[in-house]
Amino acid sequence: MAQPKTPDTDTIATNRKAKLRYDILDRYEAGMALVGSEVKQLRAKHCNLEGSFVRVRDGEAWILDSSIPPYDHGGYANHEDKRPRKLLLHRAQIDEIDKSLQTKGRTCVPLRLYFKGGRAKLEIALVKGRTHGDERQAIRDREAKREVAQAMKVRIKSHR
């Protein structure tokens, strides 16, 4: 029996505050080393990326403080909620991230967690922190763009 066709990417969770708090410098797609009960929770879209970050230790990339709650029907082999999870990246990408993290004011945060081809993928980004004034300016810019788009939409409808 054929399996139902799934969309190319199925978003599980996003880190919405990351785009507000940081200037995104570079993006990467990483696989994740997960256990079975974590995958079941991700398929149920139970995950939180708020406050999580990426660190490089001993030549390996790890995501810390991401929350995947324990599986309800899991037994003795259930996973911990906020355990460190290994990211699967190419050596050159890990070295590039590690080198960039040495620069003051830079960090690496997850932006989005999704399924691609049946595998869990994490979009991570090298970012530079914004000041409080920069965050306010970003909000003003976003609202101005929204108002212009709305005005253009109204104008186009009135000319028809």
Structure tokens belonging to residue 104: 């003051």
Question: What does pLDDT average to over the chain?
Answer: 83
- When pLDDT is averaged across residues 65-73 and rounded to a whole number, the result is 79
- Summarize the confidence of residues 71-89 as an average pLDDT: 78
- pLDDT at 44 (0 to 100): 85
Give percent of the chain with pLDDT exceeding 90: 25
CB 130 within 8 A of CB 136: no
Boundaries of every domain in the chain: 9-129, 131-160
pLDDT the model gives residue 3 = 44
Neighbours of 9 (CB within 10 A): 13
Q: Are strands 22-32 and 106-116 parallel, antiparallel or unpaired?
A: unpaired
The H helix count followed by the E strand count for the chain is 4, 7
What's the whole-model pTM score? 0.73
pLDDT of residue 156: 75
Higher pLDDT, 56 or 21: 56
Per-residue pLDDT of 1-47, as tens digits, reads 444 445 556 888 888 888 888 888 999 999 998 888 788 888 888 88
Architecture of domain 9-129: Beta Barrel (2.40)
- pLDDT range class, residue 51, cuts 50, 70, 90: confident
pLDDT tier, 95 (very low <50, low <70, confident <90, very high otherwise): very high
pLDDT at 34: 86
Residue 89 has pLDDT above 60, yes or no: yes
Dist. CA 5–CA 133, nearest whole Å: 46
Residue 28 CB burial class (10 angstroms; 0-12, 13-18, ≥19): buried
